[in-house]
Amino acid sequence: MAATGAKRVGVIGAGMVGVCAASWLQRDGHKAFLIEAGEPGHGASFGNAGCFNGSSVTPMSIPGTIRNVPRWLIDPLGPLSLRWRYLPAIAPWLVRFVRAGTPQKVHAQARALRPLVGPSLEALRPLVSAAGAEDLIHRLGHLYVYRSAESLAKDRLVWELRRENGVEIDEFDADELRQLEPALSRDYVRGVLVRENGHTSSPLKLVERLLEHFLHSGGEIVHARARGFRFDGSRLTAIETDTGDHAADAAIVCAGAYSKPLAAVLGDWVPLETERGYHLMIADPEVMPRIPTADADGKFVATPMETGLRFAGTVELAGLAAPPDWRRARILLEQGRKMLPGLAASHPEERISVWMGHRPSLPDSLPVLGPSRATPDVVYAFGHGHVGMTAAPMTGKLVADLVSGRPPSIDIAPFAPGRFG
């Protein structure tokens, strides 16, 4: 229960992060309401790979990443693409990204992330069981597969960071891999299984069920676009939206990749960018892996979902406004057929669906989580990049700690909004 008395709290954005934050605030005795500009759960939280990977402590920028960039950019099937016209806009972010990847910094970033992502499934469990959504969560682990011993060796630092943060792994050779996932191509000769990880078979349904429970328990949702905040002195009185003001004692900014202008109105500058990602789904596929499986070189994940097989991944740097380049999604199909040779060589178009979404990303791969500079009444909780589904449950708990005046249950100093100067 809230230590400082119940507050009326407006949570801006009904993605996985916002819905988890609203749910934890409600469980804490606050009167929470969501403000959503579009459809709840239809942002980045819609089409991701659905993995709850507590082991995902490795930042995107690590020593050596930058060496791979030219190769990735010229490979049409590669995991990274950049719209050259967007280069001037994203250049300062890229400079910060490269600077974040020193050996010392990546060890610190991984240490900071582990308490946020490690307890993900534990922090999600009470929400999921209250919402009757247990059928959507599976704890079968996460399998990383490699085409050569050399490529596994190149990931040495990635596994070192996971191991030093308490992640336990099982390694498999080619024969063992075959037994574990018979559908996988014989080109894969090494596998690493992280048993602690889990996944959802429908990210959208998960958000929707959590939201439904929140609404049944007295929560509200306002369909509007948040634009700013109203104050009496330094105390928040309302959240300003395109349909009018909504009275609030506290506000949480969980608008994913669209959060930057909301922080800017309070004088906080954060280098938030979007790393656009794609998915391609095959309904009624000929084969599916049992466990979510990541092609470590191709940097995509194959996840068994309720409605079919989802290949998700790739990073495209092109900003929020550019239209999707569906060739990026088609690449995933080409890669996926190589991963799972039992898939048909072609599928009727009605069985294929594609999606593009905006990962909200900071250059140091850490979210922005903490009070605004202007007032403790506005708390930021955005920028979870590649791990937002996983980090959402703990983020929600931390937001409730802050609003209730309790010390956060983990160290949130590395996520400070002001760390970019």
Q: Interface residues with ligand FAD (CB under 6 A)?
A: 12-18, 35-38, 42-45, 48-51, 225-226, 254-256, 258, 277-279, 312-313, 357, 359-360, 382, 384-390
Task: Report the phi/psi class of residue 301: left, alpha or beta, with left for phi > 0 and alpha for psi in -120 to 50.
Answer: beta
d(CA 406, CA 5): 12
From residue 328, how far is each of 43, 146, 314 by CA, in Å?
A: 18, 22, 8
Nearest to 389 by CA among 36, 41, 39: 41
Cβ distance to ligand FAD smaller for residue 39 or 187: 39
Could you tell me the smallest distance in angstroms from the CB atom of residue 171 to ligand FAD?
Answer: 22
Could you tell me the smallest distance in angstroms from the CB atom of residue 247 to ligand FAD?
Answer: 17
Helix H, strand E, coil C: the string for 37-57 is CCCCCCCHHHHCCCEECCCCC
Cβ distance to ligand FAD smaller for residue 42 or 138: 42
Contact 251, 379 (CB under 8 A): yes
From residue 21, how far is each of 16, 17, 141, 221, 393 by CA, in Å?
A: 8, 6, 25, 13, 8
Cβ distance to ligand FAD smaller for residue 299 or 419: 299
Could you tell me the smallest distance in angstroms from the CB atom of residue 149 to ligand FAD?
Answer: 26
Could you tell me the smallest distance in angstroms from the CB atom of residue 255 to ligand FAD?
Answer: 4
Cβ distance to ligand FAD smaller for residue 6 or 354: 354
d(CA 307, CA 309): 7
Cβ distance to ligand FAD smaller for residue 149 or 247: 247
Could you tell me the smallest distance in angstroms from the CB atom of residue 352 to ligand FAD?
Answer: 16
Contact 86, 319 (CB under 8 A): yes
> Shortest Cβ contact with ligand FAD: which residue?
388
From residue 298, how far is each of 76, 145, 255, 313, 376 by CA, in Å?
A: 12, 10, 29, 9, 42
Could you tell me the smallest distance in angstroms from the CB atom of residue 301 to ligand FAD?
Answer: 6
d(CA 84, CA 322): 12
Nearest to 213 by CA among 124, 138, 139: 124
d(CA 109, CA 365): 8
Cβ distance to ligand FAD smaller for residue 51 or 263: 51
Cβ distance to ligand FAD smaller for residue 105 or 223: 223
Tokens, residue 355: 């999606």
Could you tell me the smallest distance in angstroms from the CB atom of residue 146 to ligand FAD?
Answer: 19
Could you tell me the smallest distance in angstroms from the CB atom of residue 65 to ligand FAD?
Answer: 18
Angle at 212 between CA 208 and CA 214, to 5 degrees: 115
d(CA 25, CA 31): 8
Ramachandran angles phi, psi of 248, nearest 5°: -155, 145
Cβ distance to ligand FAD smaller for residue 156 or 327: 327
In the 8-state DSSP scheme, what is residue 148?
S
Could you tell me the smallest distance in angstroms from the CB atom of residue 161 to ligand FAD?
Answer: 17
Cβ distance to ligand FAD smaller for residue 189 or 416: 416
